[in-house]
Structure 1
C-alpha cells in the first residue's frame, strides 16, 4: 500500500509578512510537524503548487529550508502563483522534463504517480495566467508516461482542477484546455484518480468518469458561497492536508484539518 500526503497552496511569503493576518510559514511548519509525527511512513509528500505567494526568491529559500525538516521524501510542483524560472533557481534539483517543465513520474510497486506542470506562463500576464494550461509539449509528455505505465494504475497530481468545482469565480481559472486533457486520459484508460489544489477547498467527485480530490490550502480558504465572482476573496479557516492510500481495491482519500485535530484524545 502506497501512502501519499498532499499539501497545496502554501503561499509562502518573506519573513515578517502575512496573508489576511495569517503567517503561512507557521501554518506550514505545523503541518510538517504533524506529518512527521503521524505519517512518517508516507511514501511521498506532494506539494502541489502555489508554493510562494509572490514567486520571490526569499520565499522560495524560506520554503526550501522548511521542507528540509520533513522526514518523508518530498516532491514539489508549481502553480499559478509561482514562476518557473524563479522556482528552479532555488529548487535547482527539482526534476523537469526534456522541455524544462516541472513535471516528473514516480513509480511505486502498486501505482505510477504523474506530477504535471499546469502553469499558463510565461508571459506572466495576470489574471489570465492564473488559469491552467497544458501545451502540446506537456500533453505529449503525459501521453508517453501514460503509455509506458504498464499494468500500474496511474494517479495524476496537478495544481489546476481540469473540471468545474461549483465556485463561479475560481472555475474561470481552471485548466482551460480540459477537453484535450480528458481526451488523452480517457484514451489510455489507466488513470484511477486525479488530485488538485488551487481552489482552497476540500472537494471530491468525478468528472468524465474519473474520481478527483481537491484539497484545502495550508493558509487561507475560499469562502463557501458558490456564486461569488471574485476568486481572490479569502477566509481564515483551519489548514489541512490530504492523505491518499493506494490499496488492492482502489484509492482511499482522507483529509486532515491538522490545526484542530485531536489525535491524542483519550478513547471513551
Structure 2
C-alpha cells in the first residue's frame, strides 16, 4: 500500500556569515532535519511549499543538494516564499519540478497544486487561475470514488486554523468549494502556510495543515491501510535541533516564530475511513 511523508514550511535561508556560530547552526539544523526526513522509507517525499525563505538560486541549490543525498522521489509544491526573488519559470528550471501535476495510482489520485503568487512581497495569500481550476475539476470528476489527495501550499479559506485571516488562504473570492464538492468519496487536502498544525473535517473532506519545521520539528506520515488512511506525526526531539532552531530564529528575516505551532494532538493525527462514501453536491 501507499506511504507518503510530508514536510511543512522549511524556510531554508541564506545567512549573515559574519555572525559567529550561525553557519554551523544552520548546517546542523537543516542537515539533521532533512536527513531524518529522507531516512523515512516512503513512496513519495513531499514539501508543502516554502521550502526556501526567498527562493534565491543559492537557497534552492543548497537545499536541493542536501535533498539529493538519498535517492528519493521528492515533490516540491510551490509556496509564496519560494517565488519571492525569482520567477516561477526560473525556480522550476533550478528545481526540475513541475508547476502543477497529478499522479494517478490504483490506490489513490494525487493532485499537486500551485497556489503561490509570483514575486509579490505585499500579498502572500494564495491564488489559483481559471485554467488550473478547470484542470482540478476534471481530475476530481475522473477520480470517481477513488480517494483523492490534494497538496497545496495555501489552505482553503475558513477551513484549518488561521485560514480565515487575511492572506492566510487561497483567496476567498475563488469558489474552490464548488469544485471540491464534486468529489464522490474520500478527499484529503494537505497544506502549510499558516505555521500551525490543524486538522478539520468539512463535508467529505479532511483538511490537514502542517506547521513550519523551524517551529515544530517533525513530519507527517500518510499510510493506506485496508479500511482507512492513517495520518500520523513524527517528532524530531533532538535537543541540538531545538537549540539550533532558536539561534536561527534570532537572525532570520521574513520569518516570525510561532510558539503555538503544535496545537493539540487532535491537530496532528487522524484516521480517515475508506468505508464511508458521500454523493457529490453538484
| SS, match of residue 222 in structure 2 | strand
Change (3 A) 1:77 1:246: same
TM-score relative to the length of structure 1: 0.76
Task: Report the CA distance shift for 1:170/1:246 in structure 2 as closer, same or farther (over 3 A).
Answer: farther
Aligned-partner Cα distance in 1 for 2:44–2:93 = 23
The offset of 1:16, in angstroms, is 5.0
Aligned to 1:54: 54
Q: Which residue of 2 aligns with 1:106?
A: 103
- Is 1:115 paired with 2:119? no
Q: In the alignment, is the contact (CA less than 8 A) between 2:156 and 2:163 conserved in 1?
A: no
Q: Does residue 8 of the first structure (1) align with residue 8 of the second (2)?
A: yes
Counterparts of residues 22-101 of structure 1 (less than 5 Å): 26-37=28-39, 39-40=40-41, 42-83=42-83, 84-91=88-95, 93-95=96-98
Kindly indicate whether the alpha-carbon contact (under 8 Å) linking 1:114 and 1:157 is maintained by their aligned counterparts in 2: yes
Cα 1:210–1:55 change in 2 (3 A) is same
1:204-219 pair list within 5 angstroms? 204-219=199-214
* Structure 2 residue ranges without an equivalent (≥5): 240-282
Change (3 A) 1:243 1:69: same
1:226 is matched with which residue? none
Aligned match for 2:157, one of 157, 163, 167: 163
In structure 2, the residue matched to 1:131 is: 125
**1-side partners of 2:8 and 2:104: how far apart?**
21
SS at match of 2:135: helix
SS in 2 for 1:187: coil
- Provide the residue aligned with 2:179 in structure 1: 184
Structure 2 residue matching 1:64: 3-state secondary structure: helix
Distance, in Å, in 2 between the alignment partners of 1:259 and 1:171 is: 33
Secondary structure of the corresponding residue to residue 143 of structure 2: coil
Q: 1:140 aligns with which of 99, 117, 134?
A: 134
**Separation in 2 of the partners of 1:180 and 1:24?**
40
Secondary structure of the structure 2 residue equivalent to 1:13: coil
Distance 2:133 2:126 in 1: 13
Partner of 1:233: none
Higher deviation after alignment, 177-186 or 21-30: 21-30
Contact 2:155–2:163 (CA under 8 A) maintained in structure 1: no
Whole-angstrom CA distance in 2 between matches of 1:24 and 1:183: 43
Paired residue for 2:243?
none
Alpha-carbon spacing, 1:29–1:109, altered in 2? closer, same or farther (3 Å): farther
Q: Deviations over 1:34-70 (max 9, x none)?
A: 2344x22x01010111122111110011111111013
Unaligned segments of structure 1, at least 5 residues: 96-101, 222-237, 262-268
Greater Cα offset, 104-113 or 22-31: 22-31
From the superposition, tell whether residues 81 and 24 of structure 1 become closer, same or farther in structure 2 (CA, over 3 Å).
farther
C-alpha contact (below 8 Å) 1:13/1:52 kept by paired residues: yes
